[in-house]
Amino acid sequence: MTDVDDLVVISDTELLYAQAKHRLRLAWPEVEQDFKNQLEDLKMTGLDAGSQVELVVSRAGLRKSLDDSMPAAFKGKVEVKHYVHRFSEWRSFAEGLLSKAGGDLAKRNLADYYYIGWKACNFHGTIRDIAKCSADHSGFLLRDFEPKFELSPEVETLLSAVKGMDYDIEGDIFTFGMNRHFRSPLGFRCGTPKWDRLIKRLSNAEDLDLIKFATIAGKIR
């Protein structure tokens, strides 16, 4: 794990600025100027009264050391916190975002998917943004918070007629398979130009079954 500097969380009721440090040792001179700048920025924008400013560290002993040696100018304005990573709680949340196609492989790679998704968002964005980027980079083994894509009656009839295939739509992520056992995601989202090309090709095909559907879908570019 590396440092995550300048983490900002904004909600309707609060603004949180934090520097997160995963270090064996840390002293105030290394971060003092950053916090001075942040406090000054908050004061200039009038946000200081409703804001939290935190230095978050991963070791309890380091928290105590920094708390004891905090510069007088920061007392009452900056809080030093020890972050205990509750991995089981995070994993429970993350596994709740597995798509119907997400299996054991996806479970093993959850942390990688979310880190890559966060990185793709330039380490900035809402949980919804990060979940969408993570879903994209997982090959749609993860789902996200996009609203459910609604099929037209014609498309619903077309897909329902594919022999031996059942499907699910989670947000705009389409997964398909046979008898709810084997599940595979499309390599693109519903409602995109690729989706439109898929539906057009399916409309022109005859005697559609699961194999033909997968073959056509795999050739969409």
Domain identity same for 28 and 72:
yes
Element (H, E) at 7: strand 4-10
CA-to-CA distance for 187 and 173, rounded, in angstroms?
A: 9
User: What pLDDT was estimated at residue 116?
Assistant: 86
Domain identity same for 129 and 160:
no
Query: pLDDT grade, residue 87 (50/70/90)?
Result: low
Residue 190 has pLDDT above 90, yes or no: yes
Residue range 18-36: average pLDDT? 87
The answer to whether residue 132 is domain-embedded is yes
Domain identity same for 67 and 124:
no
HEC sequence for 136-185: HHCCCCECCCCCCCCCCHHHHHHHHCCECCEEEEECCEEEEEECCCEEEE
CB 220 within 8 A of CB 194: yes
Model confidence pLDDT, tens digit, residues 89-116? 767 777 777 877 777 878 888 878 888 8
The answer to whether residue 143 is domain-embedded is no
The answer to whether residue 144 is domain-embedded is no
Domain identity same for 74 and 124:
no
Residue range 199-221: average pLDDT? 91
Domain identity same for 41 and 11:
yes
User: What pLDDT was estimated at residue 2?
Assistant: 37
Domain identity same for 25 and 77:
yes
- The mean-pLDDT minimum among 39-43, 69-73, 159-163 falls in 39-43
The count of structural domains within the chain is 3
The set of residues, in sequence order, having a beta carbon less than 8 Å from that of 52 and lying 6+ positions away, is 14, 15, 16, 17, 18, 79
* Enclosing domain of residue 39: 4-82
The answer to whether residue 146 is domain-embedded is no
Domain identity same for 116 and 157:
no
Tell me the two tokens of residue 51: 């804001």
The answer to whether residue 147 is domain-embedded is no
Question: Which residues partner with 19 through β-bridges?
Answer: 55
Domain identity same for 122 and 77:
no
Residue 6 has pLDDT above 70, yes or no: no
User: What pLDDT was estimated at residue 86?
Assistant: 67
CA atoms within 13 A on the CB side of 152: 6
Query: pLDDT grade, residue 70 (50/70/90)?
Result: very high
Instruction: Provide the pairing of β-strand 15-21 with 51-57.
Output: parallel
Domain identity same for 101 and 78:
no
Domain end point (choices 82, 101, 124): 82
Helices 110-120 and 127-137: crossing angle in degrees, nearest 10, is: 110
User: What pLDDT was estimated at residue 63?
Assistant: 93
User: What pLDDT was estimated at residue 3?
Assistant: 42
User: What pLDDT was estimated at residue 157?
Assistant: 94
Domain end point (choices 82, 102, 118): 82
Residue range 168-187: average pLDDT? 85
Residue 188 has pLDDT above 80, yes or no: yes
Long-range contacts of 126-129, Cβ-Cβ distance < 8 Å, separation of 24 or more: none
User: What pLDDT was estimated at residue 4?
Assistant: 44
Domain identity same for 75 and 96:
no
Higher pLDDT, 9 or 149: 149
Domain identity same for 9 and 75:
yes
